[in-house]
Amino acid sequence: MSDLQLEIKSLIIEALGLEDMTTDDLAADLTLFGDGLGLDSVDALELGLAIQKRFGIKIDAEAKDTRKHFANVASLAAFVSAHQAA
């Protein structure tokens, strides 16, 4: 697991107040919304804001790829990494 994935796991736990979870509880390929972790649209907004603040990335909620980027920790890390490199 990359340092970025670990940082994103910590960010998810912190931003969403998942106090009973640890980074070890979040597999990199665990689906974040619906089945899996069970996050909802409010969680998506909070997580999106936290990602924007932490990494300085502009996230377009209307973009068709946004759902794909927020599918799991691994895809979110790839999204952040791509935007940091740009």
Per-residue pLDDT reduced to its tens digit, 59-76? 988 888 999 999 999 999
- What pLDDT is stored for residue 84 in this prediction? 84
Q: Taking the model in full, what pTM does it have?
A: 0.91
CA-CA distance, 75 to 72, in Å (whole number)?
A: 6
Q: 26-41 burial by CB neighbour count: b if 16+ within 10 A, else e?
A: bebeeebbeeebebee
Q: Which fold has domain 3-85?
A: 1.10.1200
Q: Where are the domains of the chain?
A: 3-85
Give the model's confidence band at 1: pLDDT under 50 very low, under 70 low, under 90 confident, else very high: low
